């Protein structure tokens, strides 16, 4: 059984590209990084290890909902994000924690700074990316964002794609 053979540098570069696309609101290009059946989730801050089948999540999207979320973020109808927040995300401590024949489980830490109307909020947490190979390229099959905040306050909402 041959395992996926991407280097740490290639994986880090992929995650940095994802961060850049999100920070620059290049959402269509970001969607191209996802598989056709990708999932995206943000568990609640009080039960970060829960399953979306048994616990309410802040976000639990399949690819159809991800596409809808992006479409809305790009429109003037997203009142919470119009005009759009400015974000700057930093990713570090990237670790490949599991390699299999068809996927990689990658964990990393993040801080996303969100600037809007003269205020700055910081979202701190961990990412878990399940990466797969499609036509020689890395793609995101599952993206989980685990917030280390005890509550969303003072932020109160997660309208951006973390």
Gyration radius of the chain over CA positions? 16
pLDDT block averages, 10 residues each, the chain of length 162: 82 98 95 97 79 77 94 79 87 96 96 89 94 96 91 64 78
What distance in Å separates the CA atoms of residue 42 and residue 126, rounded to the nearest whole number? 10
**Angle, CA of 37, 43 and 44, to the nearest 5°:** 155
Structure confidence at residue 153 (pLDDT): 63
Structure confidence at residue 98 (pLDDT): 95
Give the residue among 85, 96, 161, 156 at the shortest CA–CA distance from 131: 96
Structure confidence at residue 140 (pLDDT): 98
What distance in Å separates the CA atoms of residue 81 and residue 72, rounded to the nearest whole number? 9
115: which strand partners? 86, 120
Question: CA-based diameter of the chain, in Å?
Answer: 53
Q: Is 11 helix (H, G, I), strand (E, B) or coil?
A: helix
The predicted model scores a pTM of 0.91
Structure confidence at residue 50 (pLDDT): 72
Domains recognised in the chain with CATH numbers: 8-147 (3.10.450.50)
Structure confidence at residue 152 (pLDDT): 66
């Amino acid at each position: 059984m041959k395992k996926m053979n991407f280097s740490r540098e290639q994986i880090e570069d992929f995650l940095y590209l994802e961060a850049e696309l999100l920070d620059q609101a290049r959402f269509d290009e970001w969607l191209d990084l996802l598989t056709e059946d990708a999932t995206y989730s943000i568990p609640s801050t009080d039960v970060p290890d829960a399953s979306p089948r048994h616990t309410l999540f802040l976000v639990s999207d399949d690819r159809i909902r991800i596409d809808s979320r992006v479409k809305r973020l790009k429109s003037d109808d997203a009142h919470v994000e119009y005009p759009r927040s400015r974000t700057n995300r930093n990713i570090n401590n990237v670790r490949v924690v599991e390699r299999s024949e068809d996927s990689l489980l990658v964990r990393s830490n993040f801080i996303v700074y969100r600037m809007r109307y003269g205020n700055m909020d910081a979202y701190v947490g961990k990412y878990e990316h399940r990466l797969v190979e499609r036509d020689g390229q890395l793609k995101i099959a599952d993206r989980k964002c685990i917030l280390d905040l005890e509550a969303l306050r003072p932020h109160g909402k997660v309208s951006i794609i973390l």
